[in-house]
Structure 1
Amino acid sequence: MEVAPGVHRIESVLGPRTFSQYLLLGERALLVDTGVAETPEKVILPYLESVGLSARDLDFALVTHADVDHFGGNGALRGAAREAVLCAHAADAPWVEDRERILRERYGWYAGEGVDYPPDVREWLRESLGPDVPLDLHLSGGEVFRLGPGLLVEVLHLPGHSPGHVGLWEPSSRSAIITDAALGGGLLDMEGNVISPPPYFDARAYEESVRRLQGLSPRLLLTAHYPVMEGEEAARFLEESLEFVRRARRVVAEALEERGELDLRNLLELAGPRLGPFTAMENELAGTLRAHLRELVAAGRAREAPGGGGTVWRSLG
């Protein structure tokens, strides 16, 4: 559906959640994200056809960040849209271009800390990735795509959820396409219930990205896994994203002070009920908790050391 002039939201469902890519359409066409391996064939190409286009009409395909549900369809899209310029931020490019590397580094580290995904989720992650596809262009933020008269979009570097997360700002309609750069108090099911934690891996960067979005005062906030948000609703969502960071920071500090020493498995058991409860992808809270533990280490309030079942953090008072 067209949510603003030239800005289309391509909606489908991914498991229990809503799932969206975006199409920016002027004289040139830019696709935002390629979904999982099957998304181009089942969702994106049919949408293009519905608005009178084919894959060959795509000029650009921009991956907002390195998660399987945002670039897993690169292989299928490349097969259909051979001339489209495929781009992502340079910081996420090594993961986007190498499926084994992202499975090992982005998703595999949980196992070493005793908080691995269930076997069916690990299998889904692998199946969601198509073949490796090299990027044509590495972004750094600040680039402008001129798609036609009255339709230009600026690339925003919005790190935190991933090092190279990017979004797009369309000033005419004041639309911010942010996919997963802000995640409120958690990911929702189709009924609007929080089911999964909001994962971020650099707490300060995530906060700064959300504040940058607040500074834009978007009229439309366009994400990958939430409904379209307008005006005050968008502002509340961004503030909710910051409030979760504040709560998580406090919960982690209190838990480490109470116990004196924690690994991620123990901290997840303590913090999950306080920040959730979460019923899906619960282990992804571990990345968020680790980000706040690392803040304590940087502040001289904790020490990080290898332990028998993973990393151990000790309070320094």
Structure 2
Amino acid sequence: MEDFGVIVICCDQDYFMAKGVCASIRHFLGDVPICLLVDGTFSVADAQKAYGAKVINRMNMTHDVLKQRSFGWGTTRMIAFWESPFKHFLLVDADVIIWGNILKYANFKDYDVIIDRPCSDYSREAVQEYFFDIPVFEANFPGFNWQNRPFVCPAVLFGTRDIFTLEEYIEILDFKDKHPNVFKYGDMGFLNYMIFRAADQGRLRLGQEDIQFLVPDFPQEHAKKRFPMNETGPVVVDDEANVVHWCGPKPTLSSSNPYSEPMNFFRRKFLRDASGTTGLAAEALLQVEDLQRNIYVYKKKIRKKLTGKY
């Protein structure tokens, strides 16, 4: 595919999973270019060495306003729409793995943006909880009909660079500064709004496909059956192609719930590819990563208990 790559969003606390994402890309998608969208100053040299990953960070961006206002939870993803090194891209969070040939859905001939397809439209109560405060939203964006929309979790999407204007995004950021609790769950509310508004106005061609499996939404046995593993790795059944997303509890070596084996396999693969580390040495390194993650989560809970803020 011409001028295309996969962009993985990561920060220091989820880079241990982002490495697994990169390994899954190489396993299923061959030598497709990889780019890490990095929120922070930590090193990603191992991914650059193993897979030739490009990097977007504060040091090499073109747009100062994005550098100043679009890093952090809920906004980092948006940087890709203007700073992507590829015209077309698959944009994913760090807590996912690729499963199968997901590129079969990358139909940029007919669409500019391709998002997931939910099982059903959200109720008013669900929109209020997950996307935006409806009364305030309606008062400020009266021209947009939010009802009966197939909104999605935007952790997985195929996109096109410069499909939005920078000005419309800055307007959203300005609105968020004045009304911080209207759009919910980081960018989930306002990005859905931006996508569907632009589609309504004929500014982008929107497609929806079944491209995301939300692990917490299904019983563990269902996930195991749909994404089976054997001693050599993933077993793709019936040409399954999806992005597995651990949007709730994160997968670690010690976790029995959620189903973590696909991510564990690819974290091990990353160590083999990056440094040739296998066996007990690899297990020890992965356990250290898991411990560091657990310490971070514990400190975060204590901070919230003491201050009421993350």
Query: How does the TM-score come out when normalised to structure 1?
Result: 0.30
Return the structure number with greater relative CO, CA threshold 8 A, min gap 6: 2
Larger strand fraction of residues: 1
Judging by fraction of residues, say which structure has more helix: 2
